[in-house]
Structure 1
């Protein structure tokens, strides 16, 4: 019998939760395709996440509270908009803070992120989804996350276009299909890792 899964979506929109967000929408669509999970969505811009590469940068840093939710999760969704062909500055800050996980290990020498699955969600009005997912995947895998097959869902509008993903009349069929696949593969891999943990490194 499989255990229930906990999902954390880190939405890296430059806007706080007082505004609608295309990144938030796509992250929630991924969650909707993950049956029987306990999910939390965090808009990172709502929190004072200090610059740095430590688990706790002190002086009002709110990353430790977010990190606690991340460590308790089985699947992490990292959702970012595309700006100038790059992930948002908030997404980059999250990746920098995750660098601390390389030195945060369990009693068997494994980073606490081992056994956790990560998927990406990328939106924007210009090309860049493949480039951004490559950056995100490398960073997340480097600190111990496992990436499922086809573990990204994305939507890019036409170059120089003003339409946002959240303003579309309907979700494009290709994006909906990709979202469903990424969600299903993430859940499948998370269950596998629950049952069979990575070996100890020391």
Structure 2
């Protein structure tokens, strides 16, 4: 069974700028690849994404439909976000809004199209807010149809105020963070396999 994972990195840094969020995402990717999960990471700042609550293009330059096609093909979706002022990045909020714009679409059974997909979140920052960002992302994904396994919020937070972020602070040496990367990755893989083999039955949840 081949699973596809898609990670939407909502750092404010465009490629090839250094992204601390991407560095933590890479820890999860290693586990995915070791378990045969095909993984793609998109840096959302590299794309032109218009504002709107729709899956369709808002303008001729809007590249969201290209990203949305990859979302539809994925079994696992992870949103990565830095923390700014205790909240998710503006790009993360915009990404959730565009995902919400496709939530009324349905699959071949007539269920919401995000059914039988699992979601998780990766957060980095040097101030408080990791659980707040995780709550926002995971609730949003659950609300639009994603299945949220237990303990799929992975984060690293440094000391309050200005200071070294994940890479410079060697966050990969943090036992708690690395343990939760492993828990998140394996739980996402397990639930994605389970839903692939035993999809949510179309009973009581078909959109009419």
1:115–1:145 contact (8 Å) kept in structure 2: yes
How many residues get paired?
200
Instruction: Give matches, 1:188-199, under 5 Å.
Output: 188-199=190-201
Once the two structures are TM-superposed, the CA of residue 107 in structure 1 deviates from its matched residue by 3.4
Once the two structures are TM-superposed, the CA of residue 101 in structure 1 deviates from its matched residue by 2.3
1:82 is paired with a residue whose SS is: strand
Once the two structures are TM-superposed, the CA of residue 161 in structure 1 deviates from its matched residue by 3.3
1:193 is paired with a residue whose SS is: helix
TM-score, structure 1 as length reference: 0.96
Q: Which moved more, 1:127-136 or 1:108-117?
A: 108-117
Paired with 1:192 and 1:145, the residues of 2 have a C-alpha distance of 14
Once the two structures are TM-superposed, the CA of residue 25 in structure 1 deviates from its matched residue by 1.1
Which residue number corresponds to residue 103 of structure 2?
A: 102
Once the two structures are TM-superposed, the CA of residue 170 in structure 1 deviates from its matched residue by 5.4
- CA deviation digits over 1:23-76, x for unaligned, max 9? 111112111112111110100000001100010123211011111111101101
Paired with 1:160 and 1:22, the residues of 2 have a C-alpha distance of 16
Give the one of 7, 28, 31 matched to 1:30.
28
- CA deviation digits over 1:54-106, x for unaligned, max 9? 10123211011111111101101100000000000000000000112221112
Runs of 4+ in 1 over 4 A off after TM superposition: none
Once the two structures are TM-superposed, the CA of residue 109 in structure 1 deviates from its matched residue by 1.8
- Residues 60, 170 of structure 1: CA spacing in aligned structure 2 closer, same or farther, 3 A cutoff? closer
- CA deviation digits over 1:114-145, x for unaligned, max 9? 11111100000101011111110111111111
Which residue number corresponds to residue 89 of structure 2?
A: 88
Paired with 1:107 and 1:80, the residues of 2 have a C-alpha distance of 32
The answer on 1:131 being equivalent to 2:132 is: yes
Paired with 1:13 and 1:161, the residues of 2 have a C-alpha distance of 17
Paired with 1:170 and 1:13, the residues of 2 have a C-alpha distance of 17
1:70 is paired with a residue whose SS is: helix
Give the one of 12, 15, 19 matched to 1:14.
12
Unpaired runs of 5+ in structure 2? none
The answer on 1:52 being equivalent to 2:52 is: yes
Paired with 2:16 and 2:62, the residues of 1 have a C-alpha distance of 21
Paired with 2:176 and 2:107, the residues of 1 have a C-alpha distance of 40
- Residues 7, 147 of structure 1: CA spacing in aligned structure 2 closer, same or farther, 3 A cutoff? same
Give the one of 179, 182, 192 matched to 1:180.
182
TM-score, structure 2 as length reference: 0.93
1:33 is paired with a residue whose SS is: helix
